[in-house]
Structure 1
Amino acid sequence: MSSISDIIENYLIKSLKQTPSGTIQVKRSELARLFQCVPSQINYVISTRFTVEKGYIVESKRGGGGYIRIRKVSFPQQQDYYEMLLRMIGKRITQQAAADLITRLVDEELMTEREGRMIMKLISREVLDLPVSLRDSVRARIMRTVVTTLFANKGE
Structure 2
Amino acid sequence: MRNISDIIEQYLKSILHESPEGMVEIQRNDLADEFSCVPSQINYVISTRFTLEKGYLVESKRGGGGYVRIQRIELPAHSALHNHLHHSIGDEIGQTAAEGLIYQLEEARFLSKREAGLMRAAVSREIILVKLPYRDQIRARMLKAMLISLLGK
Q: TM-score with structure 2 length normalisation? A: 0.85
Q: Please state if 1:49 is matched with 2:36.
A: no
> Which whole-Å deviations, capped at 9, do the CAs of 1:40-67 have from their partners, x for residues lacking one?
2111111111112221111111111211
Query: What runs of 5+ residues in structure 1 fail to find an aligned partner?
Result: none
CA distance in 2, matches of 1:143, 1:82: 12
CA contact (8 A) 1:60 1:67 kept: yes
CA distance in 2, matches of 1:19, 1:111: 24
Q: Which residue of 2 aligns with 1:10?
A: 10
User: In structure 1, the residue corresponding to 2:92 is in which secondary structure?
Assistant: coil
Q: Percent identity?
A: 45
Letter in 1 for 2:124: S
User: In the comparison of the two structures, how many residue pairs are matched?
Assistant: 153
Letter in 2 for 1:46: I
> Which whole-Å deviations, capped at 9, do the CAs of 1:117-149 have from their partners, x for residues lacking one?
221121112210111432122212222333444
Q: Please state if 1:62 is matched with 2:100.
A: no
Report matched runs for 1:1-156 at 5 Å.
1-75=1-75, 77-78=77-78, 80-153=80-153
CA contact (8 A) 1:8 1:45 kept: yes
Query: What runs of 5+ residues in structure 2 fail to find an aligned partner?
Result: none
Alpha-carbon spacing, 1:88–1:60, altered in 2? closer, same or farther (3 Å): farther
Alpha-carbon spacing, 1:5–1:142, altered in 2? closer, same or farther (3 Å): same
Q: How much has 1:82 moved relative to structure 2?
A: 4.0
Q: TM-score with structure 1 length normalisation? A: 0.83
CA distance in 2, matches of 1:147, 1:86: 10
Q: How much has 1:112 moved relative to structure 2?
A: 2.2
User: In structure 2, the residue corresponding to 1:100 is in which secondary structure?
Assistant: helix
Please provide the CA RMSD for this pair.
Answer: 2.1
Letter in 2 for 1:95: Q
CA distance in 1, matches of 2:80, 2:21: 20
**More deviation in 16-25 or 49-58?**
49-58
CA distance in 2, matches of 1:128, 1:17: 36
User: In structure 2, the residue corresponding to 1:70 is in which secondary structure?
Assistant: strand
